[in-house]
C-alpha cells in the first residue's frame, strides 16, 4: 500500500522528470558485460551538451584527475567506465527537474543543500575507502528529490506536512509519514528505481533518515545520513552537532567514523562547495553570491 502510493506519485511525473537518453544508455552499458569502453564513449559523444558538461566537470580542480581530459575516449580511459557513469549522471540529473512546478519549495535553497550534502558525502566516502566514491556524490545530490516530486504532485498536502513538522517540532519525514504514510525518501528511491539506477543509490536515498533500516547497503546509507546532517551544519557555518538533525549512533558505528571528524570535514567541504555549485548549478551559485 505504502510502496504503491509512492509509485503513483512517481508515475504521475514520469513525463516531466526523465534522465537524458544518454544517461540512461550509459547506465545500461555499465551493467552490460558485453559492452566496451568504446561503446560508452560513442554513446556519450552523441550528446554535445552532456559531452561539453562532462569534459568541463572532469577537468575541474574539484576532481583533480591526473591529466587533461580533452575527449570522451580519454575520459573513459582515465576515469573508468563505472566512475564515469556517475559523473555523467551528476552532470545531467539536475536539469531533469526543470519542468516541474515546485511553488512550495525554495528551489535555490533546495539545491544548495543537495550540493553541500553531495560534497560531504564524497569526502566521507574517501575516509571510508568506498569503491567508486562518485556514486556517493550522486546520492547526496539526489537524496531529497522526493521533495520535488511530492511538492509537484500533492502541493496542498505538502503544506500540511510542513505545518505539522513546524508545530509538532518533528522531522519533516516523520510529518510526511503521519500525514500521507509516504515520505520523500521513499518517493526519491522509487524515482531512481524508475530510472534504472543501481540499488545502492536507491537504498541510500530510501533510508537516509533511518540508516538502521538499510539491509544491503548500510555503509552507503550511513554516509548519506551523516552527510545530510553535516550539510545542514555546513550551511549554518557551524560545527556544533546540536544545531543539526541528530546523527544515528548506528551510522557512526557502521562507518567507523566519529564526531571528531566533523570540524575537518566541514572545513574541507566549505572549500569545495562553491566550486561544486558552480559546476553543477551555476544559476544557483550566481544567485547565492
Q: Are residues 189 and 269 in the same domain?
A: yes
Q: Are residues 167 and 208 in the same domain?
A: yes
CA-CA distance, 222 to 212, in Å (whole number)?
Answer: 8
Q: pLDDT for 224-263, tens place per residue?
A: 999 999 999 999 998 889 889 999 999 999 999 999 999 9
pLDDT of 287 strictly over 70: no
Number of domains in the chain: 2
Please give the pLDDT value at position 98: 86
| Residue pair 187/149 in contact by the 8 Å Cβ criterion | yes
Alpha helices (H) along the chain: 2-11, 21-30, 37-45, 48-58, 72-79, 81-92, 107-127, 134-142, 145-153, 155-168, 172-180, 184-194, 199-206, 218-236, 249-255, 262-280, 282-288
Q: Give 19-66 as a DSSP string.
A: --HHHHHHHHHHT-TT--HHHHHHHHHT-HHHHHHHHHHHTSTTT--S
Q: Are residues 69 and 142 in the same domain?
A: no
pLDDT of 123 strictly over 60: yes
When pLDDT is averaged across residues 11-25 and rounded to a whole number, the result is: 89
Overall size of the chain counted in residues: 289
Torsion (CA) 55, 28, 255, 137 in degrees, nearest 10: 30
Q: Are residues 139 and 34 in the same domain?
A: no
Q: Are residues 190 and 252 in the same domain?
A: yes
Q: Are residues 217 and 276 in the same domain?
A: yes
Residue-range definition of the domain harbouring residue 149: 2-17+99-288
Q: Are residues 231 and 280 in the same domain?
A: yes
Q: Are residues 232 and 274 in the same domain?
A: yes
When pLDDT is averaged across residues 118-129 and rounded to a whole number, the result is: 96
What are the residues whose beta carbons fall under 8 Å from the beta carbon of 98, sequence distance 6 or more? none
When pLDDT is averaged across residues 88-103 and rounded to a whole number, the result is: 86
Q: Are residues 80 and 148 in the same domain?
A: no
Q: Are residues 123 and 88 in the same domain?
A: no
Neighbour-count burial for 109-126, b at 16+ CB within 10 Å, e otherwise:
ebbbbbbbbbbbbbbbbe
Q: Are residues 179 and 231 in the same domain?
A: yes
Q: Are residues 53 and 115 in the same domain?
A: no
For residue 39 the three cell numbers come to 561503446
Domain boundary among 34, 68, 92: 92
CA-CA distance, 274 to 252, in Å (whole number)?
Answer: 27
| Residue pair 231/243 in contact by the 8 Å Cβ criterion | no
For the whole model, what pTM was predicted?
0.94
Amino acid at each position: 500500500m505504502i510502496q504503491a502510493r509512492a509509485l503513483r506519485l512517481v508515475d504521475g511525473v514520469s513525463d516531466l522528470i526523465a534522465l537524458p537518453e544518454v544517461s540512461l544508455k550509459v547506465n545500461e552499458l555499465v551493467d552490460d558485460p558485453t559492452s566496451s569502453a568504446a561503446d560508452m564513449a560513442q554513446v556519450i559523444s552523441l550528446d554535445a551538451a552532456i559531452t561539453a558538461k562532462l569534459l568541463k566537470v572532469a577537468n575541474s580542480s574539484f576532481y583533480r584527475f591526473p591529466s587533461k581530459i580533452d575527449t570522451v575516449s580519454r575520459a573513459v580511459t582515465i576515469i573508468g567506465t563505472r566512475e564515469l557513469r556517475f559523473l555523467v549522471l551528476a552532470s545531467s540529473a539536475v536539469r531533469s527537474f526543470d519542468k516541474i512546478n515546485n511553488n512550495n519549495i525554495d528551489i535555490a535553497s533546495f539545491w544548495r543543500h543537495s550540493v553541500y550534502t553531495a560534497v560531504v558525502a564524497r569526502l566521507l566516502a574517501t575516509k571510508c575507502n568506498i569503491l567508486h566514491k562518485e556514486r556517493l556524490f550522486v546520492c547526496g545530490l539526489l537524496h531529497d528529490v522526493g521533495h520535488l516530486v511530492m511538492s509537484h504532485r500533492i502541493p496542498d498536502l505538502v503544506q500540511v506536512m510542513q505545518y505539522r513538522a513546524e508545530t509538532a517540532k518533528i522531522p519533516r519525514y516523520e510529518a510526511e509519514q503521519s500525514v500521507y504514510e509516504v515520505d520523500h525518501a521513499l518517493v526519491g528511491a522509487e524515482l531512481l528505481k524508475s530510472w534504472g539506477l543501481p540499488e545502492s543509490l536507491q537504498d541510500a536515498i530510501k533510508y537516509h533518515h533511518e540508516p538502521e533500516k538499510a539491509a544491503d547497503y548500510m555503509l552507503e546509507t550511513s554516509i548519506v545520513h551523516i552527510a545530510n546532517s553535516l550539510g545542514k551544519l555546513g550551511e549554518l557555518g557551524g560545527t556544533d552537532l546540536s544545531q543539526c538533525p541528530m546523527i544515528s549512533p548506528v551510522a557512526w558505528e557502521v562507518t567507523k567514523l566519529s564526531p571528531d571528524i566533523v570540524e575537518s570535514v566541514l572545513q574541507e567541504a566549505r572549500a569545495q562547495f562553491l566550486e561544486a555549485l558552480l559546476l553543477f548549478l551555476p544559476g544557483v551559485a550566481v544567485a547565492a553570491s
